[in-house]
Amino acid sequence: MNINEQFAAVVMIGLMLGASASYAERAPRSLGADARVRQVTFSPIDVIRVDTHLRVNTAIELGRGERISQVLLGDSESYEIEVLSNRNTVSVKPVVARASSNMTIYTNRRTLSFLLTEGRTKTHTFRVVIEYPEEKSAPRVVATGARDTGYQFAGEAPFRPLRVWNDGRHTYFEMPRDVRPSVFGINGAGFETTVNSTTSGSIIKVSGLQSEYSVRIGERVVCIRRVAGGSTGDPAVVSVLSSKEF
């Protein structure tokens, strides 16, 4: 069971994702007037269809800060695949007419599933830009003096954080005394990923902002999800929180 499933089970909202999920293909849509540049929203339970053409290179661009670790291709004789030096973009070029193949991309944040086709449509595809729901919907702290305290907790444990907040650059976890759990980020597929963290007293500082975290000791875990509406510029609140930051 991944962290998203644990979160759903603890808060008892809805049905289990695995029992009700509907698997489908997602076809990229046009970004503007030129249909050769397209965009698609990532979903961990869907397959992204990319329509390619002979003698045309298609670039698949992932999210900012996402680095590709491995690419698996079903039909390596029908497609030429290259990961660019930025580790963020994949070049796809078919070499066989009417070819079709699956492709799986593993990154430092998630796993993406693709269906590659050749000649399925008349319109060439030059670029496919992947966007992510958490990046579109996650609240942002714009004012440098504001703090975002909008975090929802699921799970009970002695190491459950007393509070979680961010200053727009770092996320802070205030822990009970004498506990030192591990903090993980949660990727788009619902699995734990390592984060860059430092500790000072009872405060754990994690670089960057993510939509979901887990705080864990052994098999016990507390799930934390960022929600909208938590940003505040109240001087009293900002003063208390900033005094705990480092």
**138-244 placed in CATH 1.10.630.10:** no
Predicted local confidence at residue 73, as pLDDT = 96
Q: What six digits make up the tokens of 124?
A: 């060439």
Listed in sequence order, the residues at least 6 apart from 195 whose beta carbon sits closer than 8 Å to its beta carbon are 183, 184, 185, 206, 207, 208, 210, 213
Residue 188 burial class via C-beta count within 10 angstroms: exposed 0-12, middle 13-18, buried 19 and up: buried
Q: Are 40 and 29 in contact (CB under 8 A)?
A: yes
Domain boundaries for CATH 2.60.40.2500 within the chain: 138-244
Q: Which residue has the tokens 């644990």?
A: 6
Determine if the pTM surpasses 0.75: no
Please count the residues of the chain. Answer: 246
DSSP label at residue 38: E
| pLDDT tens digits along 42-74 | 888 889 999 999 999 999 999 877 899 999 999
Would the pLDDT of 97 be above 50? yes
Would the pLDDT of 127 be above 50? yes
Would the pLDDT of 237 be above 70? yes
| pLDDT tens digits along 182-215 | 999 998 888 899 988 999 999 999 999 999 999 9
Listed in sequence order, the residues at least 6 apart from 30 whose beta carbon sits closer than 8 Å to its beta carbon are 37, 38, 39
Predicted local confidence at residue 144, as pLDDT = 53
Q: Candidates 3.10.290, 1.10.10, 2.60.40, 2.40.128; correct CATH number of 21-132? A: 2.60.40
Tell me how many degrees the CA angle 134-146-182 measures, rounded to the nearest 5: 55
What are the Cα distances from residue 206, in Å, to 65, 88, 105, 174, 212? Answer: 16, 23, 26, 11, 12
CA distance 71 to 225: 29
Q: Which residue has the higher pLDDT, 165 or 235?
A: 165
At residue 21 the predicted structure's pLDDT band, cuts being 50, 70 and 90, is very low
What are the Cα distances from residue 102, in Å, to 40, 46, 114, 236? Answer: 17, 13, 6, 54
